[in-house]
Amino acid sequence: MEGGRLIYDRDCCTGCGTCVKVCPNSARELVGEELTVEKIVDVLIRDAVFYRSSGGGVTFSGGEPMAQPELLRKLVTTCFDAGISTAVETSGFFDYENVADIFEYIDEVYIDLKHTHESTHKDLTGVSNRIIIENILRIDKAGYSVCLRVPLVKLLNDTEENVVGIINLCQNMQNLKSVELLSYHDFGSSKYAALGQHYDFAMASPDQPKIERIANSLQAAGIVCTHS
């Protein structure tokens, strides 16, 4: 208590949810739920009829789903056995040998491609893109359908150099479904606020004409491209 107000000490929080139950104004809520594999499977099987009737399915996203290969393996094989279509969204930054068998049970693979130049990618993300590009090519070579997603950030990866790099990579692929150009957004700022942290990223999306020019360059190279 401070100045007549209750103060939330994040260091003492255990995630028990008691504050949510007793908050008189329902101002607090628990975000996320921890479930066992069995419980997740129960939910998926229960809704299977809706997936089949709508032509939809289950998408495994994150975070990074490949960071939990045992869990993902159980879930995709269960979906496969139940006739449920699946997709996975991944950064591509994983040990391929640990997850290679998982792709046999996935219908669509969506992989982020932030930058094709290794040193620039490392400057922007803190890691090399070598593993990511190797994984993209290995997944493609194995015959799985791949969609590359490029989150465009003004002056960072909307350059001619990166567009040429994307085209060169795509032209070395046999099972590329499409390239999806995504405008940068700051939706993550709300997560920072919820954690009591300051969102300090001065980034923006390229303007729409620039995005359309990039899309046109990809399409002129024979690459199926969509953009927002």
pLDDT less than 70: residues of the chain? 1-6, 8, 186-195, 199-201
Query: What is the pLDDT at residue 12?
Result: 80
- Could you report the per-residue pLDDT of 171-201, keeping only the tens digit for each? 999 999 999 999 987 666 666 666 677 766 6
pTM, whole model, 2 decimals? 0.81
Query: What is the pLDDT at residue 37?
Result: 82
Backbone angles phi, psi at 138, to 5 degrees: -70, -40
Query: What is the pLDDT at residue 194?
Result: 66
- Could you report the per-residue pLDDT of 138-183, keeping only the tens digit for each? 999 999 999 999 999 999 999 999 999 999 999 999 999 999 999 9
Concatenated DSSP letters of 76-99? HHHHHHTT-EEEEEE-S-S-HHHH
Q: How would you label 88-100 residue by residue, b for 16+ Cβ within 10 Å and e otherwise?
A: bbbbbbbeeeebe
| Separation in Å, CA 69 to CA 48, 98, 119, 134 | 23, 7, 29, 19
Evaluate whether 203 touches 151 at the Cβ level (below 8 Å): no
Domains present along the chain, CATH in parentheses: 51-227 (3.20.20.70)
What angle do the packed helices 69-81 and 37-46 form, to 10 degrees? Answer: 30
- Cα 8 from Cα 84, distance rounded (Å): 43
Query: What is the pLDDT at residue 212?
Result: 96
Q: Which of 187, 202, 178, 69 is nearest to 113 (CA)?
A: 178
Concatenated DSSP letters of 37-70? HHHHHHHHHHTHHHHHHHT-EEEE-SS-GGGSHH
Query: What is the pLDDT at residue 135?
Result: 98
Query: What is the pLDDT at residue 201?
Result: 66
Query: What is the pLDDT at residue 199?
Result: 63
Query: What is the pLDDT at residue 26?
Result: 76
Query: What is the pLDDT at residue 195?
Result: 65
- Cα 89 from Cα 76, distance rounded (Å): 13
